Chain A
Amino acid sequence: MRSVKVIVSFVFTLSLLSFPSSGFQSDELLVDDEEFGLEGSPQPRSPEPIPTRSPPVTAPTRKRHSDLDSDSKIQFSLEHAFGDSDFSPAGTFSARLKTWSHGGQTLTKLRFSRNSFTDEDKEKFKNLLESDDFYRIRIPSNVLSPPGRDFVISSVKARCLPREGLDEHFVIHMEGVNVLAVNYGSPGSCPYPRNLKLPAKWSFSSHTVLKNSEQAPRAPVFTEEILGGENAEGEVVQPPERSFWAKYWMYLIPLGLIVMNAITQAMNMPEEQATGQGQPSAGAVQRGPSSAAQIGRESVNVFFPVNGSYLVWPRPLNTEINLCIKILELKYFVGSRISEVKL
């Protein structure tokens, strides 16, 4: 155990030292250790920067090395197929297998090195692009004893991959040492009428994400004192006490209207009587045009909203009452006009 640790740390320092040179592949791998997410890549390294991504890998801290939990390095292979062809090796995933003190095993620090396409592969891939066919990959369902029960397969329409180079994105769903599923596709969108586009470079830029199961949130538990079930429910069912006006406005408004109506009528009555008694014809004639003009102007306002009154129902109370009064006046006016005509 101790010796393993020593070796690991030794290799580690070595790798740090040799960082700039990037000569051996093994060195590269360990350098990548620093940023544990990235993988990649192809022997003829592409000049532009490879997108980096930090996947939510569990327990990435280095301190764990000194824990009781032991870890070992494992590898499993990626295989690909063009259309319906047979699967052939396409790359290698390597990761650390961490054995926890409670017995569980998880993978960490997954990285991926992809074999570059041979000319034959390129030809096949071109054919796939032309026929808008599937590019399929598979990995073993158990990383310790491949292929486990079966291979986990995923596929994508080949036309989704080419951008500048070939962009791919792996999401590996793990449960302990078992791979449940691998989601393989392009990192971005792949709009539906898929257009034929050949990649400028035949190099892959790969992103890998390792996902373990999430814990479900617990159901909230309340103690009775804080928020009894009944209390909360009662709150929902019973709205807060409303004011007198809020409760009974629907009765009060019509009542008010009726009272207003009665009052106006009562007020009009003596007035009419008084004027009528005084000088019947002259008064009527005098009042006629002036009030007609006034009401005529109003009447536009009156009739239009009345017709649509249920659409604009909750209008200010005053307007409503005014309208009623105007209508009543109008009625009297019309009545007096008719009587005038009769005269």
Chain B
Amino acid sequence: MPITHAFLLFFIFSSLQPTLSLYEDQVGLTDWHQQYIGKVKQAVFHTHKTGRKRVVVSTEDNVIATLDLRRGEIFWRHVLGHNDVVDGIVIALGKYVITLSSEGSILRAWNLPDGQMVWESSLHGPKHSKSLLVMTNVVIEKDNVVIIFSNGRLHAVSCIDGEVLWNKDFEVESLKVQKVIQPPGSNFVYVVGFAASSHFEMYQINAKNGELLKHESAAFSGGFSGEVSLVSSETLVALDSTGLILLRIRFHKGNVSIQQTPISNLVEDSLGPAVIIPSSIMELFAIKINAVTIFIRVTGTGKLEVVEKANHETAVGDALSISEGQQAFGLVQHAGRDIHLTVKLAHDWGGDLLKESIKMDQQRGLVHKVFINNYVRTDGSYGFRALIVMEDHSLLLLQQGAIVWSREDGLASIIDVTTSELPVERAGVSVAKVELNLFEWLKGHMLKLKGTLMLASPEDIAAIQYMRLKSSEKSKMTRDHNGFRKLLIALTRAGKLFALHTGDGRIVWSLLLQSLHKSEACQHPIGLNLCPWQVPHHHALDENPSVLVVGRCGPSSDAPGVISFVDSYTGKELSSSSLVHSVAQVIPLPYTDSTEQRLHLLIDADKHAHLYPKTPEAIGIFQREFSNIYWYSVEDDNGIIKGYALKSKCDGTVADKFCFGSRELWSIVLPSESEKIIATVTRKLNEAVHTQAKLIAADQDVMYKYISRNLLFVATVAPKASGEIGSVTPEESWLVVYLIDTVTGFVLHRVTHHGSQGPVEAVFSENWVVYHYFNLRAHRYEMSVIEIYDQSWADNKDVWKLVVGKHNLTSPISSYSRSEVVTKSQSYFFTHSLKAIAVTSTAKGITSKQLLIGTIGDQVLALDKRFLDPRRSVNPTQAEREEGIIPLTDSLPIIPQSYITHNLRVEGLRGIITVPAKLESTTLVFAHGLDLFFTHFAPSRTYDSLTEDFSCALLLITIVVLVAAIFVTWVLSQRKELQDKWR
């Protein structure tokens, strides 16, 4: 019987053919993909036609998308380049979306139903200016016309084919056009703006042919400032340069008149200058003084009157014409935990068309933008829906006092990601709601068995697939044996933390950080880093892990910093503080205190090191290792790399025992006329290296990898060549790469690639660096590898020394020992340009490595590191082949099956993060950009576990059947023999 068992196992194993790619039914089993669009800037509804109701949006991440109004799903989406900022969108002819982008120089029309581009035209002009896009109802030779002001020139473009019908330049040099207005039912447009900061200019232009009908100007000695609000088609409201006087500018029939009203006449206790909230609502506009929003009505006679002062945070939407001469606009106000959505008629402040109160999640912050749209209710009255954009960049649709759908578009702009383990499964904690009962388990296995034996009907197959995709195993909130289930904690640009479950990508919790919230003290907070702060191993059952979020107030590096600590399981902010010092660098130290909090050094702009946590115990640990702590800084703008050790005290006047000064130990000064730093890369701190020795089978030798955590890879190019590819000749461009020991400042390796240019993407792992750059001579991208080996260990090869114990393998390694390193390098051509590069990391570092390459097509390609082995040669010997050395080729292969994103695209790919699972063969890969993608990846296939579709039931049943058969045959043979003997 055991032999049959062995055979059976053998058969099963031999039938598991290794696969590189994926079967159809494995899609979505371990991977998930989420699509986002970013923070919405402008939204245009398209609801007139019957059919799918949709909204067209443009976002701050340069995305144009149409969303389903019912569910919020993306119909289609286009991601424009990072310098192709969308200036405006309109819908033309009911079927085209016209977008103006790239500082008003590119106009494109997209087909509304399917997002195909219909036409594109480029607009040029004499100077840089504000870009305005206005849809008109003017018709020239059956063409609808869209009028664009961009680059200092007025263009009229046909909506049908994008042809420029006419354009018009303005002779006034300093004209800053504010608005282009087409009064309803007329054939001319007004172009209004300010010139020389004290002149108001008005041009009346025939929309049919661009002929100048009238030009008027009026001078106002006080000057103008900021935005303007349109209160009728021939009246503007602006502020003077001090922000204290309201100006009503009327340009009726070519006569310009300016009427001044000091704000103090309208509002008694007005404090400080006001800001106009740009809008175009008939007879109404809003200004903001400090945090108070004031709505002011402009009556027909030119009188201004305050209709409301709102103390709460308020967002105003643009006007929407609902019927002849009637305009409505939306208003959202915060009141505690609720928000109030009000839709008012423009001419009647008191009469609310709609007033709804909606409970809002506090983690979404303030309302930033409102877009309203009307529809006809079943009873014939007008209903309104509102699209609101929140502080955390999320997008919500409100209708009938409820949130119809919401999109977490903050996840489109992830700054930093870390992972956290899930809670340990405990006896007391019930996870029953996701647990299956025995019957269901059996049923599932029976179904699987049917599937394996090819007996399943199509419904069964569908059921099996559903079961596999929705497997409760993978989305449980507890730690699993293989370490596949984790929390991905992501910090977004909006200052919000998200915890995503790796099983299915759902948001477990989210937190809008108070410390990164805009406030009086901190005007422009930005998040910088996310570090694991406390990772309990010994107290894993009763303590939650936490993360440290580091940010600063403002873009400059000397702005004061903010930190906060967040519980990884609950998403509660444990504490937060604004720091007195700035934050230039965050260094996690390899020491933890008794509560397993990791010690961190925050380096400020004055090169003082601040120790966190601020406890006496931390100081104690720190003092013990004090003399062994070094750090370095890279000043890329002036090309100096410096290394530092710590001094026992801060130089500052304030006595702070957690603050340490720095002393400069080494410096590397790159000549500014020939080298400019474009990339620096270090090894990952938590990378596991399985063995230091590398066997060279070919010559029966051992090489020792130079494994130092303190290596820094620096790439510099000629300053001239730091621009676009092709802007310099090969003779005047070069790329120099350095490997620098960051403790001693020793340059271990330095090599020049002549005729090469950035951008450089590099990855550093174990003892090798792989970097990608452009070779101008070969007109191709190249990837190079440098491997570093330590020669000073070479005398440890003697077995006798090992036996006698005379080796130096256990002695501590000092960076001050001069190390004899040898490097091996090789370059290969590579077809793609890169957006990101990473390397797989596994728990013990045994599994061979693969490079994960984020290609220009926003996909992630896995490339075996063996292709980037410097020892590849044209004709490897037999021994080398056995070792796995691939014959030398000039370019690296791109194998279509090794795209780990399959057919999906991670639009706007920015980073690839690899996290080891507990299972040695598997690494978790998270790619983020606009989209998010997560998958499990086994660089050498899952050699240490059975595959997902391995049927235990089949194995068990086979064994049972076989055992039964053996017994039956035994009994039978026994009987037969007995009979024979009786014969």
Contacts and interface: CB of A to CB of B under 8 A. Distances in A.
A191 B745 CA distance: 18
A137 B647 CA distance: 18
Given A214-B751, A313-B10, A191 B814 contact: yes
A29 to B, nearest CB: 27
B736 A213 contact: yes
The prevalent SS among residues of A at the interface is: mixed
A332 B980 CA distance: 12
A219 B977 contact: no
Given A216-B752, A236-B886, A336-B977, A190 B814 contact: yes
B3 interface: yes
Given A193-B812, A229-B890, A339-B981, A153 B750 contact: no
Contacts, number: 194
A273 interface: yes
Nearest to B756: A216
Contacts of A191: 811-812, 814, 817
A84 B752 contact: no
B471 interface: no
A325 B533 CA distance: 66
A213 B750 contact: yes
Contacts of A235: 887
Contacts of A179: 669
A188 B817 contact: yes
Contacts of B751: 213-216
B672 A173 contact: no
A160 B816 contact: yes
Contacts of B754: 215-216
Nearest to A149: B669
B891 interface: yes
A229 B892 CA distance: 9
A323 to B, nearest CB: 8
Contacts of A246: none
Contacts of B750: 173, 180, 211, 213-214
Contacts of B752: 213-216
A106 B331 CA distance: 72
Contacts of B753: 216
Given A84-B663, A219-B827, A148 B669 contact: yes
Contacts of B825: 216-217
Contacts of B775: 219
A148 B638 CA distance: 13
A244 interface: no
Contacts of A171: 746-747
A134 B662 CA distance: 13
Contacts of B970: 331
A176 B671 contact: yes
B812 A307 contact: no
Contacts of A343: 981
Contacts of A327: 3
Contacts of A176: 671, 674
Interface in A97-149: 132, 134, 136, 141-142, 148-149
Interface in A166-190: 169, 171, 173, 175-176, 178-181, 183, 185-190
Interface centre among B640, B745, B784, B983 (most CB of A within 10 A): B745
Interface string B605-636: 00000000000000000000001000000000
B889 A250 contact: no
Nearest to B888: A220
B961 interface: no
B6 A227 contact: no
Nearest to B674: A175
A221 interface: yes
Interface string A218-229: 111110000101
B326 interface: no
Nearest to A186: B818
Given A272-B980, A273-B980, A276-B983, A153 B664 contact: yes
A160 to B, nearest CB: 5
A179 B666 CA distance: 13
Contact of A151 (B3, B667, B670, B980): B667
A232 B885 CA distance: 13
Contacts of A310: 6, 9-10
Contacts of B828: 219-220
A297 B137 CA distance: 106
Contact of A339 (B640, B672, B977): B977
B745 A181 contact: yes
Contact of A342 (B675, B818, B887, B978): B978
A181 to B, nearest CB: 4
Interface in B729-779: 736-737, 744-747, 750-754, 775, 778
A233 interface: yes
B983 A178 contact: no
B726 interface: no
A185 to B, nearest CB: 6
Contacts of B670: 180
B826 A217 contact: yes
Nearest to A307: B2
A280 B874 contact: no
A176 B675 CA distance: 12
Given A153-B664, A336-B977, A217 B816 contact: no
A150 interface: yes
B889 A227 contact: yes
B967 interface: no
Interface string B811-832: 1111011100000011111000
A181 B671 contact: no
A221 B977 contact: no
A313 B980 CA distance: 37
B792 A189 contact: yes
A145 B672 CA distance: 14
Contact of B973 (A141, A313, A331): A331
A192 interface: yes
B583 to A, nearest CB: 25
A284 interface: yes
A277 interface: yes
B829 A219 contact: yes
A309 B816 contact: no
A335 B671 contact: no
A216 B665 contact: no
B645 interface: yes
B222 interface: no
Contact of B14 (A160, A232, A250): A250
B7 interface: yes
A152 interface: yes
B621 to A, nearest CB: 19
A154 B891 contact: no
B812 A309 contact: no
Contact of A183 (B665, B746, B817): B746
B974 A185 contact: no
Contact of B745 (A154, A186, A284): A154
A321 to B, nearest CB: 12
A338 B890 contact: no
A260 interface: no
B893 interface: yes
Given A213-B752, A219-B782, A190 B668 contact: no
B893 A173 contact: no
B647 to A, nearest CB: 8
Interface centre among B663, B664, B818, B826 (most CB of A within 10 A): B818
Interface of A: 84, 132, 134, 136, 141-142, 148-157, 160, 169, 171, 173, 175-176, 178-181, 183, 185-194, 211, 213-222, 227, 229, 232-233, 235-236, 250, 254, 272-273, 276-277, 280, 284, 306-307, 309-310, 313, 323-324, 327, 331-332, 335-336, 338-339, 342-343
The 6 A-B pairs of least Cβ separation, nearest first, read: A192-B812, A189-B817, A219-B827, A178-B671, A141-B669, A181-B668
18 contacts: A141-B669, A151-B667, A151-B669, A153-B667, A154-B666, A171-B747, A173-B750, A180-B750, A188-B817, A190-B818, A213-B750, A213-B752, A216-B751, A216-B784, A221-B778, A221-B890, A227-B889, A250-B14
